[in-house]
Structure 1
């Protein structure tokens, strides 16, 4: 007897591909937000939260750890690149790269916390769903 696959059972992408997609998408949104508003703001925050959920839904179960640690690393990576090129966007114009990254992380901490919690919640639900479905490959032959 087969059951209909649910949304949280569909993810089949390898962790490396999901990580690369997350990095590319978050950098693209940061650049788009800078281009449109000359700031990393609400557009980036909302997209970051949605991206965290989408990545958690798309990864295969064997690579849950990769996505589970990814949201803070994505945010730091994006802010390092932004701070190197335009430190005044994240902090004061006279701030160094490290100070601009710290300021950016604190200004976008709500998006990080919400995105991270949703990501972990989706991974938890997916883990429960995967462990509840019997694996027919391990059924002994009669």
Structure 2
């Protein structure tokens, strides 16, 4: 292995909007498949959600880390809200309104959301460190003085 070869952490080079669009498409596909297999959104969706969060963080180019960094909670919110509008019984009680069904759906999938989000942010942090190490400069730090 030569020093010029790229590591897993340096491989991502896709634009953020493409990664986000693919992630949402995959999540909506997983939602559809999960609902075809059962009446409620379940473990299949949660596993795909966590996997998509990690994969998105690995595929995005460094300039678009922010886009993928905010993607997991927004993607979960969009998915659950769409279900709350179209099929509230899949994430909550059938008679629940949109807001209540959305809150219930988010709470039922909170563990997947937290794991997926932490995994995504962790991968982005490691990639940021690897990029800084490769370029020979220290990772950018936020100044606390004003």
CA drift at 1:3: 2.7
Q: Distance in 2 between matches of 1:74 and 1:105?
A: 11
* Count of residues in Structure 1 that have an aligned counterpart in Structure 2: 135
Whether the 8 Å CA contact 2:40–2:89 is kept in 1: the answer is: no
Unaligned runs of 5+ in 1: 136-142
CA drift at 1:83: 1.1
1:133 matched to which residue of 2?
134
**C-alpha RMSD of the superposition:** 1.1
Q: Please tell me whether residue 50 in structure 1 is matched to residue 54 in structure 2.
A: no
For residues 14-93 of structure 1, the aligned pairs below 5 Å read 14-93=15-94
The TM-score normalised by the length of structure 2 is: 0.89
Q: Distance in 2 between matches of 1:52 and 1:122?
A: 9
- CA offsets per residue over residues 63-99 of structure 1, 9 Å max, x none? 0000001100000000111111111111111101111
CA drift at 1:4: 2.1
Q: Distance in 2 between matches of 1:134 and 1:73?
A: 32
Q: Please tell me whether residue 11 in structure 1 is matched to residue 12 in structure 2.
A: yes
111-120 or 84-93, larger mean C-alpha shift: 84-93
The TM-score normalised by the length of structure 1 is: 0.92
Q: Which has more helix, going by share of residues?
A: 1
CA drift at 1:11: 0.3
